[in-house]
Amino acid sequence: MGFTMKNILGSDERLPLFVRLLANLSALMVIALLLFPGVGMAAASPLMKECLLKEMEIGGDKMTLGGLKALCQSKLDDGGIAHVAKEPNGVVDDRLDMDTANLKNPYTLMAHRANYIMVAHNGKGFGEEVFQEQYSNPTIDLDDTEVQFQVSLKFPLAVDLFDKNIDIYAAYTNRSFWQLFNDDISSPFRDTNHEPEAWVQIRPDWEVLGFKNAVNQFGFVHQSNGQGGVLSRSWNRLFANFIFEKNSLAVRLKPWIRIEEDKEDDDNPDIEDYLGYGEISAAYKWEGHTFDVMVRNLFESSFEKGTVQLSWSFPLGNYEHFRGYVQYFNGYGQSLIDYDRNVNSLGVGISLTDVL
**Last residue in a domain, options 55, 77, 103:** 103
CA 107 to chain centre: 20
Q: Is 280 exposed, middle or buried (0-12, 13-18, 19+ CB in 10 A)?
A: middle
312 shares its domain with 273:
yes
pLDDT value, residue 27: 46
174 shares its domain with 304:
yes
Instruction: List Cα–Cα distances, 191 to 11, 14, 173, 251, 348, in angstroms.
Output: 23, 20, 14, 29, 19
Q: How far apart are the first and last CA of the chain?
A: 35
- Are the C-beta atoms of residues 256 and 219 closer than 8 Å to each other? no
224 has catalytic annotation: yes
Give the active site residue among 26, 176, 224, 234: 224
Residue 101's pLDDT band (cuts 50, 70, 90): confident
One-character DSSP codes across 247-278: TTEEEEEEEEEEPP--GGG-S-TTHHHHHTTE
207 shares its domain with 306:
yes
**Last residue in a domain, options 57, 80, 103:** 103
Q: Which domain holds residue 87?
A: 46-103
201 shares its domain with 83:
no
Asked if residue 99 belongs to a domain, the reply is yes
Give the active site residue among 121, 152, 222, 345: 222
At 229-249, the pLDDT tens digits run 999 999 999 999 999 999 999
Residue 2's pLDDT band (cuts 50, 70, 90): very low
Give the mean pLDDT of 41-64: 61
**Which of 21-35, 111-125, 320-334 is predicted with the least confidence, judged by mean pLDDT?**
21-35
238 shares its domain with 183:
yes
At 109-153, the pLDDT tens digits run 799 999 999 999 999 999 999 999 999 999 999 999 999 999 999
**Last residue in a domain, options 79, 103, 127:** 103
pLDDT value, residue 133: 94
**Closest listed residue to residue 190, CA positions, set 205, 178, 203, 202:** 178
pTM: 0.76
pLDDT value, residue 85: 44
Length of the chain: 356
The yes-or-no verdict on residue 183 having pLDDT over 80 is: yes
At 205-217, the pLDDT tens digits run 889 889 999 999 9
117 shares its domain with 158:
yes
The total domain count for the chain is 2
Give the mean pLDDT of 8-14: 40
57 shares its domain with 157:
no
How far apart are the C-alpha atoms of 345 and 148, rounded to whole Å? 11
- Are the C-beta atoms of residues 224 and 15 closer than 8 Å to each other? yes
Percent residues over pLDDT 90 in the chain: 62
Asked if residue 6 belongs to a domain, the reply is no
Mean pLDDT, rounded, of the chain = 83
Residue 1's pLDDT band (cuts 50, 70, 90): very low
Instruction: Please name every residue paired with 191 in a beta bridge, in sequence order, or none if there are none.
Output: 177
Asked if residue 30 belongs to a domain, the reply is no
How far apart are the C-alpha atoms of 318 and 52, rounded to whole Å? 20
197 shares its domain with 71:
no
222 has catalytic annotation: yes
How far apart are the C-alpha atoms of 292 and 281, rounded to whole Å? 7
pLDDT value, residue 74: 67
At 261-297, the pLDDT tens digits run 998 889 999 999 999 999 999 999 999 999 999 999 9
175 shares its domain with 52:
no
